[in-house]
């Protein structure tokens, strides 16, 4: 079902993008076999979410009969810029990419616009005020995800007046999900002074960095009550650090994450993660909240 939704979204966006640049003067030629040629620049392979997202894009393109040119940027903006320039040179019909960070895209996107190749942003947005640089954005509302994480925390500690010490593992610095998940969560918890973020640092969305940063947090903060990690992978790395420090994840330190990948859901079932906000890598418009005690009854509002 999700794959179908994703295929429909991708195809609709592509068809929309191509229609919008129709009229006979567009440069896109891609291949001569009548197929649409899509150049896609992916962020990298930093997380389980990203792996699932890549699979969804590749499968959706195949189902839709699109000729996909796929490039992995290894979490580096310069690699994405190079990939976009190469797609322009190859005269693909359409370019899509998931921007590693929010800023710094105007120059290369103007080059795509000048070449009359439509661009679609997927998963992550950019902060350029010039919305003529891309046709559309297909992705989640990351601020809403952060708010959901904060709402759960507020409810969890509703009956307590004691201070709650929180540490935060941020995603990639400057990325839309890191900026927005931080903001959404921060806005909600700011309503109650008992909540205090005692440390907040990037774990780059990876398990290894999540573990390393959590080890440092544990050394400098003896009284951590809650960990808020911007994705499951960093939370899973942090669990290793917490166990290594002789504490019980989910009990001694409550853990909130985002994504709901398989390993995250297993940790939730094992009681090591307390709450996960789902961010679907397949259909960005379906999202659920997961905790061991509650059965998700209905999806949240579309982003
Ligand atoms: O942009 C989406 C985020 O990127 C996912 O939540 C995270 O796991 C990934 O790296």
Q: What is the CATH number of the domain that holds 16?
A: 3.40.50.2300
CB of 47 shorter than 6 A to ligand 1: yes
Q: Residue 199 contacts by C-beta under 8 Å, 6 or more apart in sequence?
A: 167, 168, 217, 220, 221
Among the candidates 89, 120, 139, a domain finishes at 139
Distance from the CA of 142 to the center of ligand 1, in angstroms?
10
Average pLDDT value over all residues in the chain: 88
CB of 142 shorter than 6 A to ligand 1: no
Question: For residue 216, is it within any domain?
Answer: yes
Question: pLDDT: is 209 or 9 the higher one?
Answer: 209
Question: For residue 298, is it within any domain?
Answer: no
For 147-174, what is the mean pLDDT?
98
Structurally, the chain folds into a number of domains equal to 2
Among the candidates 105, 120, 139, a domain finishes at 139
In this structure, the answer to whether residues 17 and 128 fall within a common structural domain is yes
Question: What is the DSSP annotation of 158-205?
Answer: TT--S-EEEEEEE-STT-HHHHHHHHHHHHHHTTSTTEEEEEEEE-TT
In this structure, the answer to whether residues 184 and 68 fall within a common structural domain is no
Residue 258 CA: nearest ligand 1 atom is 6
91: left (phi over 0), alpha (psi -120 to 50) or beta: left
CB of 147 shorter than 6 A to ligand 1: no
In this structure, the answer to whether residues 91 and 149 fall within a common structural domain is no
- What local confidence, expressed as pLDDT, does residue 9 receive? 47
Q: Which residues pair with 168 in a beta bridge?
A: 200, 228
- What local confidence, expressed as pLDDT, does residue 292 receive? 57
Q: Which residues pair with 229 in a beta bridge?
A: 169
In this structure, the answer to whether residues 254 and 149 fall within a common structural domain is yes
DSSP 301: P
Question: For residue 301, is it within any domain?
Answer: no
Question: For residue 265, is it within any domain?
Answer: yes
Question: For residue 302, is it within any domain?
Answer: no
Q: Is it the case that residue 18 has pLDDT exceeding 90?
A: no
Distance from the CA of 25 to the center of ligand 1, in angstroms?
37
Q: Is it the case that residue 4 has pLDDT exceeding 80?
A: no
- Label residue 42 by pLDDT band (50, 70, 90): very high
CA angle 62, 133, 283 (to 5 degrees): 40
Question: For residue 36, is it within any domain?
Answer: yes
CB of 93 shorter than 6 A to ligand 1: no
In this structure, the answer to whether residues 285 and 177 fall within a common structural domain is yes
In this structure, the answer to whether residues 162 and 268 fall within a common structural domain is yes
Distance from the CA of 67 to the center of ligand 1, in angstroms?
25
Q: Decide: helix, strand or coil at residue 18.
A: helix
Q: Is it the case that residue 34 has pLDDT exceeding 90?
A: no
In this structure, the answer to whether residues 146 and 221 fall within a common structural domain is yes
Query: Domain range holding 242?
Result: 142-291
If one residue of 279, 282, 284, 287 were mutated to test the ligand 1 pocket, choosing by the most ligand atoms within 8 A of its CB, it would be: 279
pLDDT 10s digits, 228-245: 999 999 999 999 999 999
In this structure, the answer to whether residues 134 and 193 fall within a common structural domain is no
Question: pLDDT: is 30 or 83 the higher one?
Answer: 83
In this structure, the answer to whether residues 121 and 177 fall within a common structural domain is no
Contact 234, 217 (CB under 8 A): no
DSSP 253: B
Question: For residue 297, is it within any domain?
Answer: no
pLDDT 10s digits, 273-289: 999 999 988 744 444 56
Among the candidates 139, 169, 184, a domain finishes at 139
In this structure, the answer to whether residues 125 and 259 fall within a common structural domain is no
pTM comes to 0.87
Distance from the CA of 77 to the center of ligand 1, in angstroms?
15
In this structure, the answer to whether residues 134 and 172 fall within a common structural domain is no
Q: Is it the case that residue 259 has pLDDT exceeding 90?
A: yes
Question: pLDDT: is 290 or 136 the higher one?
Answer: 136
Q: How many CB atoms lie within 10 A of CB 59?
A: 14
Question: For residue 299, is it within any domain?
Answer: no
What whole-number distance in Å separates Cα of residue 285 and Cα of residue 303? Answer: 6
Q: Is it the case that residue 293 has pLDDT exceeding 70?
A: no
In this structure, the answer to whether residues 88 and 164 fall within a common structural domain is no
């Amino acid at each position: 079902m999700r794959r179908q939704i994703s295929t429909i979204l991708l195809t609709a966006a592509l068809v929309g993008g191509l229609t919008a640049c129709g009229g006979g003067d567009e440069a896109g030629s891609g291949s001569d076999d009548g197929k649409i040629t899509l150049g896609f620049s992916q962020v990298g392979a930093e997380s389980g979410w990203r792996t699932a997202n890549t699979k969804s894009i590749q499968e959706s393109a195949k189902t839709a009969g699109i000729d996909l040119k796929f490039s992995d940027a290894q979490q580096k903006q310069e690699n994405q810029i190079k990939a976009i320039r190469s797609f322009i040179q190859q005269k693909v019909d359409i370019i899509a990419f998931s921007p590693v960070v929010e800023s710094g895209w105007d120059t290369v996107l103007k080059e795509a616009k000048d070449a009359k190749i439509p661009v679609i942003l997927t998963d992550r947005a950019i902060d350029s005020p010039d919305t003529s640089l891309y046709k559309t954005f297909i992705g989640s509302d990351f601020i809403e995800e952060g708010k959901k994480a904060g709402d759960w925390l507020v409810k969890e500690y509703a009956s307590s007046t004691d201070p709650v010490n929180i540490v935060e593992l941020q995603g990639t610095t400057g990325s839309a999900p890191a900026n927005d998940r931080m903001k959404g969560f921060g806005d909600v918890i700011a309503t109650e002074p008992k909540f205090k973020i005692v440390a907040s640092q990037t774990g780059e969305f990876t398990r290894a960095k999540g573990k390393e940063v959590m080890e440092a947090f544990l050394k400098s903060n003896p009284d951590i009550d809650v960990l808020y990690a911007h994705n499951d992978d960093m939370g899973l790395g942090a669990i290793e650090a917490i166990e290594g420090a002789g504490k019980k994840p989910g009990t001694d330190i409550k853990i909130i994450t985002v994504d709901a990948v398989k390993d995250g859901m297993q940790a939730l079932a094992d009681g090591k993660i307390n709450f996960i906000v789902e961010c679907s890598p397949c259909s960005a418009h379906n999202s659920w909240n997961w905790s061991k005690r509650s059965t998700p009854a209905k999806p949240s509002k579309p982003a």
